[in-house]
Amino acid sequence: MRYISTRGDAPALEFEDVLLEGLARDGGLYVPQTWPTLSPDTFENIRGKHYASVACDVMWPFVDGAIGRDDFERIVCGAYSKFRHQSVAPLVQIGPNLWVMELFHGPTLAFKDVAMQVLGGLFDHVLAKRDAHLTIVGATSGDTGSAAIEAVRGSDRADIFIMHPKGRTSDVQRKQMTTVDAPNVHNLAVEGTFDDCQALLKAMFNDAAFRDRTHLSGVNSINWARVLPQAVYYVAAAASLGALNGGAAPRFCVPTGNFGDIYAGYIAQKLGLAVERLVVASNQNDILTRVFRTGDHTLGDVYATMSPSMDIQVSSNFERLLFDVLDRDPRKVQDLMGKLKSDRTFKLDADTVAKLAETFSAHRVDESETLDTIRKVYKQTGYLIDPHTAVGVAAAWHEMNATDAAAPMVVLSTAHPAKFPDAVEKATGVRPPLPDFLADLYEREERFDVVENDLTSVQRTIEYAIQANNPR
């Protein structure tokens, strides 16, 4: 399997190199050169299998030829052995025809662990094989950072630098990153927003000299190997609901920020999974709702909401979907991305919007509706959901009211309620406690560097720390 860039001016690469490169050298994102499909037999035999085993089956066509099957199974089993729930991504029914898929049973209480734990194992495997060292950089709106740190802490083959927008993550999110005491872990609090952090990240990748000097790699969902493992739980959920053995194809509603998680649902569909609909749930930062409904992709200001992991205007992975709906023509992608950069806007034509609408719907959920939803779900079921999940549930209700489809609806629950206790308590009066293994989080000592929102300052901080940690 070879991977090509959405912008057409970077070399096609094999899986291992896509893993290590992250962003393509032309500023684009890597996607498979052609979409593989799983056989009907493979889908039918998934029912009843352990999650790790489903994961190997679903991801195999994308890594076949790069990594041996035994090594791959060992990496995947190792990743999911760290989850606190046997089934990794259990479904909980919260209403008629409505399920929540709990993706927060990993070490940092958000869905990002599901992919990141696999990514950490893949990095270790490939770096050991090549006897190489990496500098991993990431930008986080809160949850990516801790999940990435947790996946590579203590590795002597990688230094990791995580930029977070200073003061814009929840306390739990920040402490999960800054209290990790490992010499290869470095936290940078950037004086700016998440989009600023993401822009700095892209600028570092586009600085070829810096990139080569530091052996730079990424863990954001711009990395193909980050989104791929997320396709697995769409298949696992469909299996649990009987959809792989004659039952109705499910709909999935996904609280969306960088468009990685929902794009993984699209990957599952490309693999041949019957998906009735993918529903994009946005908070007040609603650029995706606008683009799916009208084609208008105009950047606005970033609002700070109670679902901070979705406080994003530029949803990087949307470019991967655009590439497909623009007939995989890299010139068309370049044209739109150029307009976005120069004019802060582009517009999709009516045909493209119609094409997107065959698979996707989109709903925006504001702050008061988010709180109401947490309250309502608690009243109706006694079940606590975090604000990101609440945006998803509210959007799912909108979708279910707008259509009479009988297909089951699965909302992806992206974070544990204890990760956002203030919003949950405000809505319900109940403060969800942290699980035992994190109970002393607030007492642990924090370590981070504050850096200006400035490329040179960030690069200098990184190079200085690498030298300090890896004296030659």
Ligand X SMILES: *Cc1c(COP(=O)(O)O)cnc(C)c1O
Pick the stretch among 258-266, 269-277, 321-329, 339-347 that binds ligand X (CB under 6 A): 258-266
Residues 284-323 interacting with ligand X (rule: CB under 6 A): 309-310
Query: What letter does residue 433 receive in the DSSP assignment?
Result: P
Catalytic residues: 112
| One of 110, 322, 390, 438 touching ligand X (CB under 6 A) | 110
Q: Which residue, among 341, 30, 26, 32, has the nearest Cα to 211 in the 3D structure?
A: 26
Give the number of residues in contact with ligand X, rule: CB under 6 A. 16
Instruction: Judge contact between 164 and 187, C-beta under 8 A.
Output: yes
Smaller CB separation from ligand X, 221 or 370 = 221
Write out the DSSP string of 257-311. Answer: SSSHHHHHHHHHHHTT---SEEEEEE-S--HHHHHHHH-EEE--PPPP-S-GGG-
Question: What is the helix (H) or strand (E) element at residue 363, kind and residue range?
Answer: strand 360-364
Pick the stretch among 63-71, 253-261, 360-368, 395-403 that binds ligand X (CB under 6 A): 253-261
End-to-end CA distance of the chain: 37
Cα(318)–Cα(37) distance, integer angstroms: 22
Q: What percent of the chain is helix, strand and coil (3-state, nearest 5)?
A: 50, 15, 35
Smaller CB separation from ligand X, 250 or 387 = 387
| One of 143, 150, 276, 311 touching ligand X (CB under 6 A) | 143
User: Does 459 help bind ligand X (rule: CB under 6 A)?
Assistant: no
User: Does 261 help bind ligand X (rule: CB under 6 A)?
Assistant: yes
For CA atoms 238, 59, 139, 359, the dihedral sign is: negative
Q: Which residue, among 20, 14, 11, has the nearest Cα to 32 in the 3D structure?
A: 14
Smallest distance, Å, CB 113 to ligand X? 10
Name residue, tokens 């609090």. Answer: 189
Smaller CB separation from ligand X, 165 or 260 = 260
Smaller CB separation from ligand X, 313 or 461 = 313
User: Does 112 help bind ligand X (rule: CB under 6 A)?
Assistant: yes
Cα(241)–Cα(27) distance, integer angstroms: 39
User: Does 265 help bind ligand X (rule: CB under 6 A)?
Assistant: no
| One of 135, 187, 258, 361 touching ligand X (CB under 6 A) | 258
| One of 414, 428, 459, 461 touching ligand X (CB under 6 A) | 414
Instruction: Write the single-letter amino acid at 84.
Output: R
Smaller CB separation from ligand X, 161 or 194 = 194
User: Does 125 help bind ligand X (rule: CB under 6 A)?
Assistant: no
Smallest distance, Å, CB 169 to ligand X? 10
Q: How many Cβ atoms are within 10 Å of 421's Cβ, its own excluded? A: 20
User: Does 255 help bind ligand X (rule: CB under 6 A)?
Assistant: yes
Smaller CB separation from ligand X, 256 or 461 = 256
What is the x/- site pattern for ligand X, positions 218-237, by CB under 6 A? ---x----------------
Contacts with ligand X by CB under 6 A lie at: 110, 112, 143, 221, 255-261, 309-310, 388, 414-415
